[in-house]
Amino acid sequence: MHALQRLAIPLASLTALGLLASDLYLPAIPVMAADLDASIPAAQATMALFMAALALSQLAWGWAADHFGDRRTIMAGTALLGGGSLVCALAPDIGVMLAGRLLQGLGAGAATVAVPALIRRRFDQADAVRALAMVAMAESTIPAVGPVAGAAIVLYAGWRTTFWLIAAMALLLLPLVAHIVGPAAVPAGPPLQRGYAALLRNRLYLRYALSYALMFGALLMYVASAPVLVTHALGLGIEAFAILQICGVLAFMAGATAAVRMLQRVGQQWLARSGTLLQFLAGAGLMGMALAEVSGLGGLALLAVLAALFCAGLGLRGPATMGGALHAAGEDAGKGSGLLMFLSFACVAGATQLVAPFLHYGLLPLGALLFAMVSASALLLPR
């Protein structure tokens, strides 16, 4: 367990750094727009471009991890993230800012792909699930802590400080991760020039990957829609969204901690099925809440319980489902991780856009789509 922690914790800091490039920056957008004399659509494009680059880079980084090795891929991505942060920190206008955000998004994508692949190659299946759970716990704190810390930075140090901090952290992490990962991270399997065709024919891998993608998409669809729902459907202020985020993060960490502790005793399949059951109950509860037209503080309390159920289920089953996909990918762990995350981001984008036109009808459209995605995710899980 100590060897696992020595590798998992620094790797978790790398993936968390990529998330910080998004969440730490959010409160700075209005101030940055005013400082660079940019329009609101141009300022919002700095987030859209980052997310697009992050999503599209997954397949490229997956190929790179299998071809050049996880260590080189992680180092290259971290350097690109740090370089993009410097461009943003020094940006004289919105055009340069957009270029820096593009580089940041491309760089952040490396860790989301290469870190799970490296974990899969270094550990057996059970320990890989534990390590993925540790990484996920670290990542889960960013959506709660990032915007709060970002707001404090904007208030007391200026928006450019956000990017100086990310650049400095990337620079500090490079030698640490290079030492811990070591040169042995280069894969030594069969020829890897076959691309993604083998994975697309691998039914076991696709079932795990699509199950994970639907679960991941359902979560981020809910997170993206929650600010509108708490203000319109529940009739509350935006601070209610912060309460939901905190409940979700704490529940996820509890679920992931339980997964680490219980894996040896109950097994990977039990964790995946139990987590799926909690998410199924959350989806059904959200539909019931919508049909009962519960609102106000009572609605917030009920929604917080349902969000906690869903996120606890994700903490239980997320690492086990990803671990199953990477194990099924075998020597193609890098490409397996890249394709899995590409499918996940595609589900997020598709589900968020699909539900957006119907949010003014209240909770029911969101609940119905979330329930359908969770049900499909459950059916795809291998028995």
Token pair belonging to 226: 């929650």
Closest CA to 112 of 26, 53, 161: 53
Residue 86 pLDDT: 96
Provide the phi-psi class of 235: left if phi over 0, else alpha when psi is between -120 and 50, else beta: left
**Total-model pTM:** 0.80
Task: Say yes or no: do domains 2-182 and 197-380 share a fold.
Answer: yes
Fold for the domain defined by 2-182: Growth Hormone; Chain: A; (1.20.1250)
In the chain, the largest separation of any two C-alpha atoms, in whole Å, equals 59
Specify the 3-state DSSP secondary structure of 316.
helix
Number of Cβ within a 10 Å radius of residue 184 = 11
Fold for the domain defined by 197-380: Growth Hormone; Chain: A; (1.20.1250)
Domain boundaries in the chain?
2-182, 197-380
Handedness of CA 232, 234, 239, 244 (dihedral sign): negative
Q: For residues 218 and 206, what is the distance between their CA atoms, to the nearest angstrom?
A: 18
pLDDT tens string 141-187? 776 677 778 878 888 888 899 999 999 999 888 887 777 776 644 44
pLDDT tens string 195-225? 788 888 899 999 999 999 998 888 888 877 7
Token pair belonging to 163: 């990017």
